[in-house]
Amino acid sequence: MTWKTACPAGVAAIQLVGMALAGTALAGQPPSYQASRPVVVPVGSGRLDLDATLCFWSSAPAWHAAVDSGYRADRYGGVALSYGVADRLELGLALVPYTYREDRVGGAPKVSAFGGGSIWVRWAFIDQLALEVGVGATPATPSEDPRDQKAGVRVALPVVWILSPGLLAFHARPDLVTGFAADTFNGGSVLLKFDFDAGFLLSLANAYLDVTAGVAVQAWPRDPGPTGREDPLHPTRPAATFGLKLGWNFPEGWDLFAAFQFDNLTPATGGRTDQTNLTVGTSYRF
């Protein structure tokens, strides 16, 4: 058997395994498999999410904890509600009720505050592609203290391509983020940032695995500020990320997951694996 015949045979074997496992689950009340979920929440249904994240920056050193998601593919973490209000149209609301940050270098004050929130609308103009516009106090705002954040706008094009229903899906999204802040942290009160990530999601019966890589580029401002030390939350050079998420779908509509991510594989200083985060979360579909 040559590689030209082995590759299609291997894909077919994986699909058969996935169909067999899915058939076993369908004997009872089936979960909604991650690899079958569309780019928008279906009309008349919704999803409630709750996340918590813990981030470490060993080269700073600093750490950050929040009722939020640190996983690259999760744009709206914390406590989030999304609902399909019409065919191909989704509305959402997300709040970060608590965030804490401690930087043990330079005498920076500890930050313990409400982390802001966002609202968004997402419209799928084809099955695999949607247009999303979000408004709120976003994590991209150039401020160390969430209490200094003002409005920010995010425009995105989420992509979900279901390669094999219930088994394998490809996802990606480019984002353009404009943020505003009350101070001049990082050299200016206006920030322009580009986000992009892409990955694959594999479902095997109730379990699923997501692998996502991404990059964030702060286009403006480029000056790291008077301290000359880059803020790990808002790097002034392209920051590449790589993460893994492992989850479980329960038939009753609950999902649980844990995710680990390298936050900046291209740092200005320090090691490639110095900035990491761990996120755990749950969601309920109704």
Query: How far, in Å, CA of 273 to CA of 233, rounded?
Result: 15
State the pLDDT at residue 242: 97
Query: How far, in Å, CA of 223 to CA of 203, rounded?
Result: 43
Question: What is the per-residue pLDDT across 221-241, written as a single tens digit (0 to 9) for each?
Answer: 665 544 444 554 555 678 899
State the pLDDT at residue 193: 87
* Cα angle, residue 219 at apex, residues 218 and 225 outer, rounded to 5°: 65
State the pLDDT at residue 222: 60
State the pLDDT at residue 256: 96
Residue 7 has pLDDT above 60, yes or no: no
Q: Is the peptide bond before 221 cis (omega within 30 degrees of 0)?
A: yes
| Residue 246 near residue 14 (C-beta atoms within 8 A) | no
Residue 59 has pLDDT above 70, yes or no: no
Phi–psi pair at 261, nearest 5 degrees = -145, 140
Question: What is the per-residue pLDDT across 250-273, written as a single tens digit (0 to 9) for each?
Answer: 888 899 999 999 998 988 777 888
**Structural Rg of the chain based on CA atoms:** 20
State the pLDDT at residue 155: 96
| Residue 272 near residue 265 (C-beta atoms within 8 A) | yes
Side chain identity at residue 16, one-letter code: L
> How would residue 46 be classed by pLDDT, with cut points 50, 70 and 90?
very high
Contacts with 55 (C-beta within 8 Å, 6 or more apart), sequence order? 63, 64, 65, 70, 232, 263, 275, 276, 277
Residue 9 has pLDDT above 80, yes or no: no
Selected residue with higher pLDDT from 204 and 141: 204
| Assigned superfamily of 31-285 | monomeric porin ompg (2.40.160.40)
Query: How far, in Å, CA of 239 to CA of 235, rounded?
Result: 7
Question: What is the per-residue pLDDT across 107-120, written as a single tens digit (0 to 9) for each?
Answer: 666 778 788 889 99
Provide the residue ranges of all domains of the chain, joining segments of one domain with +.
31-285
Average confidence (pLDDT) over 79-102: 94
Mean pLDDT, all residues of the chain: 80
Burial label, 217 (beta-carbon count in 10 A; 0-12, 13-18, 19+): middle
Question: What is the per-residue pLDDT across 140-196, written as a single tens digit (0 to 9) for each?
Answer: 444 455 556 667 899 999 999 999 998 999 999 999 988 776 655 555 567 788 999
* Cα angle, residue 242 at apex, residues 236 and 244 outer, rounded to 5°: 145
Selected residue with higher pLDDT from 181 and 245: 245
* C-alpha 203 chain-centroid distance: 18
Phi–psi pair at 131, nearest 5 degrees = -110, 130
Long-range contacts of 230-233 (CB under 8 A, 24+ apart): 230/267, 230/268, 230/269, 231/144, 231/185, 231/186, 232/55, 232/57, 232/60, 232/62, 232/263, 232/264, 232/275, 233/64, 233/139, 233/144
Query: How far, in Å, CA of 239 to CA of 245, rounded?
Result: 19
Residue whose entry in the numeric block shows the structure tokens 């744009």 = 75
Range name among 55-69, 240-254, 266-280 with the lowest pLDDT average: 55-69
Question: 208 by DSSP, 3-state: which?
Answer: strand
Question: How is 188-200 classified by DSSP, letter by letter?
Answer: -SEEEEEEEEEEE
